[in-house]
Structure 1
Amino acid sequence: MNFLVEENPAEHRFEILVDNALAGFTAYLPRGGVRVFTHTEVRPEFQDMGVGGALIRATLDQVREQGGRVVPQCPFVRAFIERHPEYADLVFEPA
């Protein structure tokens, strides 16, 4: 399986393609350099294949490369960051 994660700024989401088929997305609200992640969805036929984790890992890597921060309101994104503390520095904590 080939995974490709790309940002779709017009839809305010990152999408994952598996073998060129849209397999899922994680949606966000842009707030300057901060993205508030609100929802993650993986199509049923791609569940339990590691697609969701691959999506969030690649998304957070891209946010890091862009110098951005995240607010993980989405339970899936929040749980991923809790399980992978190397991404904790990306979480925006209001002063």
Structure 2
Amino acid sequence: MSEIKPVFLPERQRFALEDNGKHIGAAHYRDFEAADGVERIFFHTTVDEAYAGQGLAGILVKFALENTVSSGAKIVPVCPYVKGYVAKHEQYQPHLVQPSPRHLEILPRG
């Protein structure tokens, strides 16, 4: 039986979805050290095609954002999925920082 759960993998700079230990999705981020604390830049979210249509990206992103807020970091939404998610969930508005060139320059290329 499938047991899908979100996990935090700070050493890999991502939040992941696992199905019985198998990675099936991820929300990738980079932390930016701003003057007033950490700003977590979410730049790419994926869920394996075999798991599409089950609402798993929403579960993963909610887990990632809740972890980020509880850690005291701000959310920088670059990923289109994360942008859409925070637009629909107003509770994250006080924790948002709009992406700027200084954020984008630390993201992986390609």
Question: So what's the TM-score if we normalise by structure 2?
Answer: 0.77
Alignment of 1:1-95 (within 5 A): 2-32=3-33, 33-93=38-98
Bigger Rg over Cα? 2
Q: Which runs of 5+ in 1 are unaligned?
A: none
- Count of matched residue pairs: 94
State how far apart, in whole Å, the 1-side matches of 2:4 and 2:94 are: 25
Native 8 Å contact 2:41 2:78 kept in 1: yes
Q: State how far apart, in whole Å, the 2-side matches of 1:54 and 1:67 are.
A: 20
Q: What stretches of structure 2 of length at least 5 have no aligned partner? A: 100-110
Q: Deviations over 1:23-57 (max 9, x none)?
A: 20011111121111110011001110010000000
Q: Is the 8 A contact 2:28 2:44 kept in 1?
A: yes
Aligned with 1:45: secondary structure? helix
Q: Equivalents in 1 of 2:63, 2:95: separation in Å?
A: 13
**What is the DSSP-based 3-state SS (H/G/I as helix, E as strand, rest coil) of the residue aligned with 2:92?**
helix
